[in-house]
């Protein structure tokens, strides 16, 4: 299914809810995957995605290059800890203090060329993305991103990918439960609400894919405001 139809379905179809959905803390944990799930028109409220096995296999293998349990564990661990990189904090400090960005980056980033270039490219991506998000009314000021960063994007993808890996047999239900709990705990370190989670997800996606976040913004609005959405009026 093309991306267009996925976004179209996400916008105009009913929210996908499993009749045998989770409740309480387990539901809270699975909701970390809600942005990605809604993008794929998958169930929002259960470990099972409701997608066909062929769709899940395509998503996991083609987009994530995950073919077995080892691949799955490697990428899931990476996504879970991606926001713990202390150098990224200096990139955000440089964005905040525009007139001194050169000095901040030079003084605090690793000096070997490859690593420095990696963080410099991140700085450049963020510099381009932030004005676009302000223009699209996702945020009103950079300061809104300073704490949340792109944690929602990393952890949201991690949680949904874990659900897919569970359905392909790469993870057991216990492992999935444990992993989703970890993504939920990690998300709370960065985001104070589900609204912040959606902003953070949109932010991360726009760093990766550039402007034109209309589809993602609409999905976030649906999740936050639709009466049938498990995220509506829910505390993180």
Q: How far apart are CA 105 and CA 135, in angstroms?
A: 26
Largest CA distance in the chain: 55
217 is an interface residue for another protein by CB under 8 A: no
98 is an interface residue for another protein by CB under 8 A: yes
102 is an interface residue for another protein by CB under 8 A: yes
127 is an interface residue for another protein by CB under 8 A: yes
120 is an interface residue for another protein by CB under 8 A: yes
Of 37-45, 59-67, 99-107, 155-163: span binding another protein (CB under 8 A): 99-107
> How far apart, in Å, are the Cα atoms of 47 and each of 37, 50, 75, 161, 197?
11, 9, 19, 11, 20
Distance of CA 33 to the CA centre of its chain: 8
What does the H/E/C string look like for 34-82? HHHHHHCCCCCCCCCCCCCHHHHHHHHHHHCCCCCHHHHHHHHHHHHHH
Give the shortest CB-14-to-another protein separation in angstroms. 36
139 is an interface residue for another protein by CB under 8 A: no
Runs of H (alpha helix) within 109-193: 113-135, 143-146, 151-167, 173-190
3 is an interface residue for another protein by CB under 8 A: no
**Which of 84, 121 has the CB closer to another protein?**
121
Total residues contacting another protein by CB under 8 A comes to 10
Q: Quick one: which of 124, 146, 189, 232 contacts another protein (CB under 8 A)?
A: 124
**Which of 59, 105 has the CB closer to another protein?**
105
Give the shortest CB-70-to-another protein separation in angstroms. 29
- Nearest CA-CA partner of 60 in 86, 82, 42, 84: 42
Return residues touching another protein (CB under 8 A).
98-99, 101-102, 120-121, 124, 127-128, 210
């Amino acid at each position: 299914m093309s991306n267009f139809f996925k976004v179209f379905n996400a916008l105009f179809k009913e929210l996908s809810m499993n009749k045998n959905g989770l409740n309480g803390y387990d539901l809270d944990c699975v909701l970390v995957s809600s942005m990605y799930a809604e993008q794929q028109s998958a169930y929002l409220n259960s470990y099972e995605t409701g997608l066909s096995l062929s769709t899940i296999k395509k998503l996991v293998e083609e987009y994530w290059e995950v073919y077995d349990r080892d691949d799955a564990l490697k990428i899931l661990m990476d996504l879970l800890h991606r926001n713990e990189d202390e150098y990224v904090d200096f990139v955000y400090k440089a964005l905040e203090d525009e007139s001194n960005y050169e000095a901040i980056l030079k003084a605090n980033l690793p000096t070997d060329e490859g690593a420095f270039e990696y963080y410099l490219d991140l700085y450049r991506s963020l510099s381009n993305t932030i004005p676009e998000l302000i223009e699209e009314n996702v945020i009103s000021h950079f300061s809104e991103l300073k704490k949340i960063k792109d944690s929602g994007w990393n952890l949201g993808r991690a949680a949904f990918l874990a659900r897919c890996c569970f359905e392909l047999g790469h993870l057991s239900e216990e492992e999935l439960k444990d992993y989703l709990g970890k993504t939920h705990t990690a998300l709370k370190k960065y985001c104070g609400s589900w609204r912040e989670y959606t902003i953070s997800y949109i932010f991360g996606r726009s760093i990766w894919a550039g402007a034109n976040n209309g589809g993602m913004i609409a999905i976030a609005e649906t999740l936050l405001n639709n009466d049938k959405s498990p995220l509506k009026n829910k505390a993180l």
